[in-house]
Amino acid sequence: MKKMKMYSIIAVAIAAASIGGCKSSKTGKTPAGETEVSVPCSGAGFFTDNKVFRANSIGQSMDQVTSKKIALTNARNELAQSIQTTVKTVTDNYTNSTSMNKKEELQQKFESLNREVVDQTLQGVRTICEKLVQTKEGNYKTYIAIELSADDLVKQYNSRLSSDDKLKVDYDYQKFKDTFNKEMDKMAAQKNGN
């Protein structure tokens, strides 16, 4: 009986400790022995949402201009990857929802257009945050965040797809845009849920 009582006390202590642990993580307190690092141009205000694609990066160099180029190149690459992944999902969903006989041809055309449109659209990227710091060692570090309007991207796709004689017969802009918007909403919900 004493053993059961002892196990009960241990179980209650463990439960109390884990509840206490949960409370501290929900309040946002940093665990003991750890230091929170605040990274400029990153965090919740710099996530992709249902209106814009966003990316951020850091570049470091002994040269100030080179540090910015590195940060911008890395951020643009991250943005391009995010767009390509999203558009791939959208085109898969869009072509699967069509009732036409040329699904494979349409998917192949979308994939080749994807690369072209992303390259062309990245020229419309806007810098939303930029911080330049100098390290103890004398190097330069650039923090940067960029964004691209999801509407601008859809318009670029529409422009390219509408001008393709083979595709414009089967292409439905509103259906494509609706599919795209649903994917953006899903992405925003996932980011907000984390």
Three-state DSSP string of 118-179:
HHHHHHHCEEEEEEEEECCCCCEEEEEEEEEEHHHHHHHHHHHHHCCHHHHCCCCHHHHHHH
Q: What is the pLDDT of residues 23-78, one digit of tens each?
A: 444 557 888 888 888 889 998 888 888 889 999 999 999 999 999 999 999 999 99
Domain span including residue 157:
36-193
**Least confident stretch, 7-11, 34-38, 107-111:** 7-11
Average pLDDT on 100-121 reads: 67
Instruction: Report the alpha-carbon distance of residue 178 to residue 194 in Å, rounded.
Output: 25
Asked if residue 18 belongs to a domain, the reply is no
| Residue-averaged pLDDT of the chain | 76
Secondary structure tally for the chain: helices H, strands E: 6, 3
Angle of helix 103-121 versus helix 64-97 axis, rounded to 10: 160
Asked if residue 88 belongs to a domain, the reply is yes
Asked if residue 157 belongs to a domain, the reply is yes
CA 94 and chain centroid, separation: 21
Asked if residue 6 belongs to a domain, the reply is no
| Res 18: pLDDT | 40
Asked if residue 22 belongs to a domain, the reply is no
Asked if residue 14 belongs to a domain, the reply is no
Other CB atoms within 10 A of residue 164 CB? 13
| Res 163: pLDDT | 75
Confidence of residue 183 (pLDDT cuts 50, 70, 90): confident
Asked if residue 65 belongs to a domain, the reply is yes
Asked if residue 50 belongs to a domain, the reply is yes
| Res 153: pLDDT | 83
Residue 126 scores a pLDDT above 80: yes
Q: How many domains does the chain have?
A: 1
